[in-house]
Amino acid sequence: MFSLPLRDNALLRPLEPWQAEEFAAHLDRAREHIRPWVGPAFVTDDVEGARATLRKYAERQAADEARLFGIWLDGTLVGGVMFVGFDAASGTCEIGCWSEPAGEGHGLITEACRALLDWAFTTRGLYRAEWHCRADNERSSAVAKRLGMTLEGVKRGTWPYAGTRHDKQMWAVLAPEWHADRP
């Protein structure tokens, strides 16, 4: 199985339907922490919901439209990164992330996103990568900044959560910018 070391005790690996029980247990630890920041369909409540989410991403990966990866810290799934959207024909993708509290503060999300961006720009030849987050999600915005992305705008009132509409930031980095910042 593919596995990419992020740190001595942390790995990035594909997250697949056969791991539904592990993903459901992770979501039990992460659910309330990530619920305000991710799409409601991602935050499932049981093993079957977790399996459905993983199956959806597997089907979208087979169609070259998305990909889902988990981050394991000391052998425990603590978060992950994904290509929310992937369009090789247009040369664009959107990346995203999530983490339970135990996965935060280690730089794992940033390192995992760098791996995704390197693959998208270098191996697949994409031109543009986007990052969307609620405008008040300071942790997510900080990752976009660390990745060298530029804040391109804010869409007002487009993120509904708990009866309130929130603004959404849109960040992006282009392949020439990404390659210029690499050693």
What are the tens digits of pLDDT across the range 116-170?
A: 999 999 999 999 999 999 999 999 999 999 999 999 999 999 999 999 999 999 9
For 65, counting Cβ atoms within 10 Å of its Cβ (0-12 exposed, 13-18 middle, 19+ buried), the class is middle
Give the pLDDT of residue 181: 82
Per DSSP (E only), the strands in the chain are: 4-7, 10-14, 67-73, 76-87, 92-99, 128-134, 150-161, 164-174
List Cα–Cα distances, 113 to 69, 88, 91, 159, in angstroms. 10, 18, 17, 23
Residue 1's pLDDT band (boundaries 50, 70, 90)?
Answer: low
Count the helix, strand and coil residues of the chain and give each as a percent rounded to the nearest 5.
Answer: 40, 35, 25
H helices then E strands: how many in the chain?
Answer: 5, 8
Full-model pTM: 0.94
Per-residue pLDDT of 125-139, as tens digits, reads: 999 999 999 999 999
Closest to 67 measured CA to CA, from 28, 102, 97: 97
Alpha-carbon Rg of the chain, whole angstroms?
16
What token pair was written down for 173?
A: 């980095």
Question: Domain map of the chain by residue range?
Answer: 9-181
CATH of segment(s) 9-181: 3.40.630.30
Per-residue pLDDT of 58-97, as tens digits, reads: 999 999 999 999 999 999 999 999 999 999 999 999 999 9
Closest to 32 measured CA to CA, from 14, 45, 17: 45
Cβ of 165: how many Cβ atoms within 10 Å? 11
